[in-house]
Chains A and B, each alone.
Chain A
């Protein structure tokens, strides 16, 4: 539904854009064609000899959505195609290929005789840019961002200002030279041009940096800069536009400009934060309408962007603030499926937007009117590069005085080289008024040249340069529970030391913010029990869920990437208690005997099963399914023995009778035949002896009374009646793990096609087989 709305919105906006060829208002033309059947009704009395049109061709009334869909389809097919060609995507970054495709398509349209569409600013700023920014803002890694926010702000604000004035000023100087025929270009226009061209573009940076996987610090520095410099760009752009129109500038105007900058930046953040809090608050109540949860996230964010644009505040900063503020609370409230939906929708939209932007850039190059001036263009390119390098070097020199982790020369090079320009510069240039800026075409040409240069030359060469300079790459390590524990421990430790030292450093303030957050904000914005959940426990549950889901999704396959191929299990880490053991120590031969007996029993019952089915002619459509399920479960359990890192907490809900029944009810492969009570020995095995701290009971959800075979009784393995201990366990668990149950219940309320299995450390002693597999 949202995509249709977006398409309609895009449709409406495209109508406003000049230069989009072939757009016609659908209403007027359609009337004529729709008059057909009505017309026939109208003058039914004077029926003419005109035959009833069986098949008619009426393109005009679907032209707009048709063309839009065609463009999006083209973009997606291109993306598909690039990844099918084996070597291409590793040499050439996607953005370059897309621009080339755009050029080709634009050329094609030109050849056909039509007027190719230009990337209209309305379309760009209102439809294509927000998904990319929201994707970036929602998934912004908060910790590295806040740790480096000072550096990022320096680069974004001071760096962009420096670039703008340097390029603008020197270009004006160049224009004043004799022989360049550029005397008409005055200072304000040059400065305006400088401010347009100096901003690092988040779309281009994302497109290129996504593929080179550099380390987190550099990524967040360049990317953060590209996001935060929007405020500066907006202010400078409007400022110089006003000044160019007005003609002169005074000190008062400069001062107002600075105030305007603060208002734009802080106002944008404030608007975003308000909408973020609203979204978080709304998500608190969505437990009964899970399906529309993602919609709230998207809508509130888009509204934040639009509201900021109404006041000419920085829409990008509003969007980032909205996403970053609402994320921790929304994620605590929404279901797992909604979380996945949000993630994939954002990735999908941002991917499509990015592709469209680059293609349109190519098409616009062909379509636009250009005014090529060698001096201007060459000087622009050179000055941009020089300004960027000087700016980065100078700023790093100053910043390194305040940083603990200094930026090395290699880092500086990557930061300077990663300053790519992109479609935002083009759109801003396109917005220029031709009346006030007669040299607009020349500007556009220069902007496009700079964009091409940075994207093609810098984009293509940055990857081999990164390898050549051996820049540290992103480490693909997963967050481990140990790191989480120690990170938290370290935070508290450093806060404590600061308090002892007696000065309020940033650990102190961060701690204060966290405590405020926990005490007041979380209570308002997070539903139910989750509001009190400490971060460590939330992290732990997340890891549990992730591993359980990975296990299920691998379907009992051979390898799970996250599991450690070790045979360390729970019993290895428990200290050997010298107290008495309820279970006598079994020798190896005895263990083998037990295993054999269990296995033969299982075979017997399986044979019995088959004969039972044939004789009673019970149509068993699930039999094949049973075998598969059985094998799958076997493999899963074997894997479960290996995979026992996180899943040591007694697994609650899915194993309680009600929950398991609910799960089975939603399982399309659920067996509906209830087994007879006396034919099958069901054994409820206590997998963990009293030695280990977690006694986990496997519950046979059909709640059969146990009938241990003779062999097992002899050996004294623990067999308990399922119902009683299950109830006990239930009661104990209900008391303690209300949090966990709720969390899992929430997930199970979105019934999925596969049941959620949470295996647990299996004792090597007993081969577990599923009593449900026999009927």
Chain B
């Protein structure tokens, strides 16, 4: 590995490792994958993602791709969408899927949980108004059911309404007949997903070995 990198590159890797928490080997592997996807260019575009054949049968493909270009996930306090991303942004988005490390304090675990849930929230809240409205939620459910054939709009609507009702009931409790529940805020989102242990479920195993040659 030493022959491959010149010193400046290694330095960048180390900076990135410190910033995102990956190990240097993992960053090297991910960089290889980045170069593979972008055909050795500096920046990655949406079309490059769309060209991944395994991703074609994923029902929420477009939302995943959008998440990579969503500037809210770049940890730079900006929002909007980018047209193309560099390796650092790619790595930053990937870092949301790191498993929790062995010795984390309760506080760190809570922060990790919030960060991951924030990522999920951003994926649903496409217009960036801080709430997931009924329309946005309905879009999520429709996407999930999109690969399963024609089931009719009504059922998706029904499921969304039921889910929304549940959130409203658990979060707000009592509402008068004229109150309107605007949408799921981030705090409500945290509450309804309390049952799923996000910090241990939302992760993938980043290998220290390069297996990208085996996959397309």
Which residues of A are at the interface with B, using a C-beta cutoff of 8 A? Answer: 404-406, 475, 477, 480-483, 485-490, 492-505, 507-508, 515, 518, 532-534, 536-537, 540, 543, 564, 566-576, 644-650, 693-694, 736-737, 739-740, 764
CA distance A489 to B160 in the complex (A): 14
- 20 CB contacts below 8 A, A to B, read A480-B166, A481-B166, A482-B163, A485-B144, A490-B120, A492-B144, A498-B204, A499-B52, A499-B58, A502-B211, A536-B144, A540-B162, A566-B172, A567-B177, A568-B172, A572-B177, A573-B168, A649-B162, A650-B154, A694-B161
Contacts of B195 in A (CB 8 A): 475, 477, 480, 483
CA distance A555 to B211 in the complex (A): 60
Contact of B169 (CB < 8 Å), options: A488, A533, A645, A648: A645
A649 lies within 8 A of B192 (CB): no
CA distance A406 to B155 in the complex (A): 40
B176 lies within 8 A of A567 (CB): yes
Contacts of A481 in B (CB 8 A): 159, 162-163, 166
B58 lies within 8 A of A566 (CB): no
- Given contacts A536-B145, A575-B180, 10 further A-B pairs with CB under 8 A are A404-B203, A481-B166, A482-B193, A485-B159, A490-B196, A534-B145, A572-B168, A573-B161, A648-B161, A650-B158
CA distance A477 to B37 in the complex (A): 43
Would A537 and B155 be within 8 Å (CB), given that A492-B58, A576-B180 are in contact? yes
Residue of A nearest to B212 (CB): A502
CA distance A495 to B97 in the complex (A): 12
Contacts of B211 in A (CB 8 A): 502-504
Would A645 and B162 be within 8 Å (CB), given that A500-B52, A564-B170, A737-B155 are in contact? yes
Contact of A534 (CB < 8 Å), options: B102, B151, B173: B151
B60 lies within 8 A of A648 (CB): no
**In chain B between 106 and 151, which residues have their CB closer than 8 angstroms to a CB of chain A?**
120, 123, 133-135, 140-141, 144-145, 148-149, 151
Contacts of B55 in A (CB 8 A): 496, 499-500
B60 lies within 8 A of A568 (CB): no
A497 lies within 8 A of B162 (CB): no
Residue of B nearest to A508 (CB): B54
B27 on the A face (CB < 8 A): no
Contacts of B135 in A (CB 8 A): 575
B14 on the A face (CB < 8 A): no
A501 lies within 8 A of B204 (CB): yes
Number of chain B residues whose Cβ lies closer than 8 Å to a Cβ of chain A: 74
Contacts of A488 in B (CB 8 A): 144
Shortest Cβ gap from A402 to chain B (Å): 10
Would A534 and B154 be within 8 Å (CB), given that A482-B166, A493-B64, A503-B211 are in contact? no
Shortest Cβ gap from B20 to chain A (Å): 14
B175 lies within 8 A of A536 (CB): no
Residue of B nearest to A481 (CB): B163
Would A572 and B33 be within 8 Å (CB), given that A490-B202, A566-B169, A648-B165 are in contact? no
CA distance A489 to B198 in the complex (A): 12
B152 on the A face (CB < 8 A): yes
Would A501 and B33 be within 8 Å (CB), given that A405-B200, A480-B166, A764-B177 are in contact? yes
B-side interface mostly = helix
B205 on the A face (CB < 8 A): yes
Contacts of B140 in A (CB 8 A): 485, 489
CA distance A372 to B181 in the complex (A): 74
Contacts of A405 in B (CB 8 A): 197, 200
B180 lies within 8 A of A573 (CB): yes
**In chain B between 169 and 216, which residues have their CB closer than 8 angstroms to a CB of chain A?**
169-170, 172-177, 179-181, 192-193, 195-197, 200-207, 211-212, 214-215
CA distance A667 to B33 in the complex (A): 66
Shortest Cβ gap from B203 to chain A (Å): 7
B36 on the A face (CB < 8 A): yes
A567 lies within 8 A of B175 (CB): yes
B17 on the A face (CB < 8 A): no
Would A485 and B57 be within 8 Å (CB), given that A480-B166, A500-B52, A568-B168 are in contact? no
CA distance A524 to B35 in the complex (A): 44
- Across the A-B interface, the 3 shortest Cβ-Cβ residue pairs: A649-B158, A534-B148, A499-B54
CA distance A71 to B40 in the complex (A): 78
CA distance A543 to B163 in the complex (A): 12
A737 lies within 8 A of B152 (CB): yes
Contacts of A482 in B (CB 8 A): 163, 166-167, 192-193
B94 on the A face (CB < 8 A): yes
CA distance A762 to B87 in the complex (A): 54
A404 lies within 8 A of B196 (CB): no
Would A505 and B204 be within 8 Å (CB), given that A575-B133, A645-B166, A693-B161 are in contact? yes
B5 on the A face (CB < 8 A): no
CA distance A646 to B161 in the complex (A): 8
Contacts of B99 in A (CB 8 A): 404
B165 lies within 8 A of A507 (CB): no
CA distance A494 to B196 in the complex (A): 15
Contact of B215 (CB < 8 Å), options: A493, A502, A566: A502
B49 on the A face (CB < 8 A): yes
Contacts of A649 in B (CB 8 A): 154-155, 158, 162
CA distance A480 to B163 in the complex (A): 8
Would A694 and B58 be within 8 Å (CB), given that A482-B192, A503-B215 are in contact? no
Contacts of B120 in A (CB 8 A): 486, 489-490, 493
A492 lies within 8 A of B102 (CB): no
Shortest Cβ gap from A41 to chain B (Å): 73
Contacts of B37 in A (CB 8 A): 500
CA distance A482 to B169 in the complex (A): 12
A515 lies within 8 A of B166 (CB): no
Contacts of B174 in A (CB 8 A): 566-568
Contact of A406 (CB < 8 Å), options: B102, B158, B168, B203: B102
CA distance A569 to B144 in the complex (A): 25
CA distance A647 to B154 in the complex (A): 13
Contact of A496 (CB < 8 Å), options: B60, B169, B170, B175: B60
Chain B 94-107 interface mask (CB, 8 Å, partner A; 1/0): 10010110100000
B145 lies within 8 A of A537 (CB): yes
A648 lies within 8 A of B158 (CB): yes
Contacts of B59 in A (CB 8 A): 492
Contacts of A648 in B (CB 8 A): 158, 161-162, 165
Residue of B nearest to A761 (CB): B165
Contact of B152 (CB < 8 Å), options: A496, A564, A644, A736: A736
Shortest Cβ gap from A339 to chain B (Å): 22
CA distance A498 to B153 in the complex (A): 30
Chain B 14-45 interface mask (CB, 8 Å, partner A; 1/0): 00000000000000001001001100000000
B204 lies within 8 A of A486 (CB): no
Contact of B148 (CB < 8 Å), options: A494, A532, A645: A532
CA distance A404 to B159 in the complex (A): 33
A486 lies within 8 A of B172 (CB): no
CA distance A475 to B195 in the complex (A): 9
Shortest Cβ gap from B56 to chain A (Å): 9
B157 on the A face (CB < 8 A): yes
B192 lies within 8 A of A487 (CB): no
A736 lies within 8 A of B154 (CB): yes
Residue of A nearest to B203 (CB): A404
CA distance A480 to B180 in the complex (A): 22
Contacts of A496 in B (CB 8 A): 55, 58, 60-61, 64
B193 lies within 8 A of A486 (CB): yes
Shortest Cβ gap from B215 to chain A (Å): 5
Shortest Cβ gap from A741 to chain B (Å): 12
B134 lies within 8 A of A573 (CB): yes
CA distance A437 to B84 in the complex (A): 77
Contacts of A532 in B (CB 8 A): 148-149
**In chain B between 39 and 78, which residues have their CB closer than 8 angstroms to a CB of chain A?**
49, 52, 54-55, 57-61, 64
CA distance A244 to B37 in the complex (A): 62
Contacts of A498 in B (CB 8 A): 204
CA distance A714 to B167 in the complex (A): 38
CA distance A384 to B147 in the complex (A): 54
Contacts of B163 in A (CB 8 A): 481-482, 485
Contact of A489 (CB < 8 Å), options: B60, B149, B167, B192: B60
B97 lies within 8 A of A497 (CB): yes
